[in-house]
Structure 1
Amino acid sequence: MSTTTITTGPLPARAVRTAVRYGYVPAMLLGVNGAAIALTTAGATHGAGKVWLLVLLAAAIAASFAAEHLLPYESDWNRPLGDGRRDAAHTLVNETLILGSLAAIPALAAAVTVADTWPHHWPLWAQVLAAILAADAGITLVHYASHKIGMLWRFHAVHHSVKRFYGLNGLMKHPLHQTIEMTAGITPLLAVGLPVDVASALALAVAAQLLLQHSNADYRIGPAKHVLALNEGHRFHHLKWAGIGDVNFGLFTLIWDHALRTYSYDGARRFTSDDLGMAAKPHYPVRYLAQLAEPFKTSGACTTSPATGTAGTAALEGARSRAAQ
């Protein structure tokens, strides 16, 4: 483990690391999302204005990489393990699907709207916050189901094959599974008249959240780590032993995990690549196209192997004990 300290080195470097540790999350949550709301208010969801949303997304990704290199939780996770091109492909395909789906919002809304009860009179920021909380419920519950239902797990396993924990992991998903998750999150909103502007800001919020949630930056958010679904808690979700990762399913918040009694956290726990992946599938395909095909193969089926080995069993028992508290 090589957690970066902020008390050593030249004063300017310490100042930068301190700014990352305590300022990165507010900058992403308030700065990026605030900019997205401002852009949508200015009409960035129409015509050439959409380019500015793409520029904002690129800036968020760049900020993610910068924070991870300035203040890494684990320095080794900043170095590719033969997964750089694969993760770039997942990011490009899945983010294109998210942003591209925005163009279909009017047609989808016309098809599925039951009653336009959306609070159009609210300030845009309040509408976006309401959309985030509603989408969080649907996406989190599908995520939970993906660890319980074998067919869903086949596709979700792609995401759990990662061996390092960094920003782009958030979009390392099988596109079919991402579509299922986003459908669960967005359909109830469309049914009550979700506006395109709010949907656009929500799409950027999802992208920023995934960058934060899987970030290798050693940032701090204090007691908020028990409520917001960010990297300190989400690392527990990626522990490799069967059953132990069935915790902390939330995308934006951990509200549903507290309700489902699937919340787990241990501040003394440290993580390395040896803790990540899937113990039952240590040789899961690494290349992009092979990962897309794996869920359709016999080898892509869910296995029910328990946590393996003494260390795995102890870790599983510890996680279950913490989740029950």
Structure 2
Amino acid sequence: MTARMERNPRSWFAWLSAGLGLSALLGVLCFHFPELLTSRDFRAVYSEDFARRLLLFGLVMAFALGTLAILRNRNKRVALVGVGSAALAVLLGGATVHFDPIESTPFSLGLDWFVISLFFSALVFIPIERMLPVRSKSPLRPEWRTDLAYFFMSHVLVQFLLIAVTASTSAIAALAVFPALKAAIQSWPVWLQFLLAVLVADMAQALLHRAYHKLPWLWRFHAVHHSSRHMDWLAGSRIRLVEIVLTRSAVLLPLVVLGFSAEAVNGYVILVGLQAVLAHANLRTDFGWLEYLLVTPRYHHWHHARHIDYIDTNYAIHLPLVDMLMGTFRRPPRGQWPEEYGVMKLETVPRGFWAQGLMPFSPRKVFADFVGRERPAALQADRGHGD
């Protein structure tokens, strides 16, 4: 086994080729079936020319990096996936594929949102985490495939999630009408509405977040998010779809009821998307006194720590002030990071995307193949130290 690994060591070129090749193939499929595979709302954000240039870049790099990996005899099977996917994408039309005007459809997948978001998230956070890591590790760390599956599902089903959240909040908001309060809030400048929206939304989310930890039936859903043994930009995606809908509904409901402007709400949505990734990032940066004002990676990392003193602390997503008001604020000594991440009882969360999806509905309380469980060395080598 050792000799085989030495002859065929892991190659970043091969894995990058595979990722870019598969992404390019998905991109071509988006051009062929835009009504079904692309998000109507997200299509308004980027241009066709941008999408074609990004697709062309992916194809060229997949071929180049895959060919180099094969010539160097490094991870040839992985490299062939990249080259083969890129070749199939070219056969299907490549960056010059023609498509007819996009017709309106009631539902569609957000495959374009997944590809573009994954590309730029990896482009930004992988280099940053390599330069300033809390712990030096490969992005292909254990269970990265599981987190990528969560990333895929939450992005591809984005329109269905938005419909579910909008329906749930609109139905409840219709029962509560405060015209005077709405008029007062909407008379404020957008920047002030935005700041208040962040505070209100964070208080709502922190209260629900604490309920996730305190109520056993909710914890069965939320435990999946805390089961990751490795913190990085991708780990924050480990959230079940039911929890996403419940959390987003609870957060947006007070903003809708109180009548915040669309600009303020959209600004909050952008902030929560950015900060959710940043808070989980493997980024060792000392923010000093800012840790009292904004939730930083170190602040949130301690919420994920396997440490008895931090079980009921740091629920806020944006503002530590919310934890201070709740009595759950705990700032560790400067420069200290958790030694270990994950749920306190690792055996209560199974390993793998599908097993975790069924976990809340299973009568079983412990699992033989659980998160963080060591696997035989031979299996680790065959799977490339992944899931």
Give the TM-score category using the shorter length.
0.5 to 0.7
- Specify whether residues 290 and 268 from structure 1 end up closer, same or farther in structure 2 by C-alpha distance, changes over 3 A only: same
CA offset digits 1:126-153 (Å, max 9, x no partner): 3333322211111111111111111111
Superposition pairs of residues 232-311 of structure 1, within 5 angstroms: 232-241=298-307, 244-264=310-330, 265-272=332-339, 275-282=340-347, 284-300=349-365
Q: Is the 8 A contact 1:237 1:247 kept in 2?
A: yes
CA offset digits 1:195-244 (Å, max 9, x no partner): 44443332221110111111101123221112311111112111224563
1:184 aligns with 2:184: no
- More displaced 10-residue stretch of structure 1: 277-286 or 101-110: 101-110
Helix, strand or coil at the partner of 1:88: helix
Q: Which residue matches 2:241? A: 175
Residue 102 of structure 1: CA displacement? 4.6
Q: Which residue matches 2:146? A: 86
Q: Which residue matches 2:44? A: 49
Q: Which has the higher contact order (CA 8 A, sep 6+)?
A: 1
Paired residue for 2:133, among 61, 68, 72?
A: 72
Q: Which residue matches 2:25? A: none
Q: Return the alpha-carbon distance in structure 1 between the equivalents of residues 251 and 318 of structure 2.
A: 12
Residue 74 of structure 1: CA displacement? 0.6
Q: Which residue matches 2:178? A: 115
Helix, strand or coil at the partner of 2:214: coil
Helix, strand or coil at the partner of 2:346: coil
Q: Is the 8 A contact 1:57 1:204 kept in 2?
A: no
Q: Return the alpha-carbon distance in structure 2 between the equivalents of residues 246 and 252 of structure 1.
A: 17
Give the superposed CA RMSD: 3.0
Superposition pairs of residues 305-320 of structure 1, within 5 angstroms: none
Q: Which residue matches 1:165? A: 231
TM-score (norm 2): 0.58
Residue 67 of structure 1: CA displacement? 1.2
Q: Return the alpha-carbon distance in structure 1 between the equivalents of residues 138 and 218 of structure 2.
A: 28
Structure 2, unmatched stretches of 5+, are 1-39, 48-111, 367-387
Residue 253 of structure 1: CA displacement? 1.1
% identical aligned pairs? 25
Q: Which residue matches 1:308? A: none
CA offset digits 1:19-75 (Å, max 9, x no partner): xxxxxxxxxxxxxxxxxxxxxxxxxx9684244895678645532223112221111
Question: Residue 178 of structure 2 aligns to which amino acid in structure 1?
Answer: A
Q: Is the 8 A contact 1:98 1:203 kept in 2?
A: no
Helix, strand or coil at the partner of 2:195: helix
For these two proteins, the number of residue pairs brought into alignment is: 254
Q: Return the alpha-carbon distance in structure 2 between the equivalents of residues 218 and 280 of structure 1.
A: 27
Residue 120 of structure 1: CA displacement? 3.3
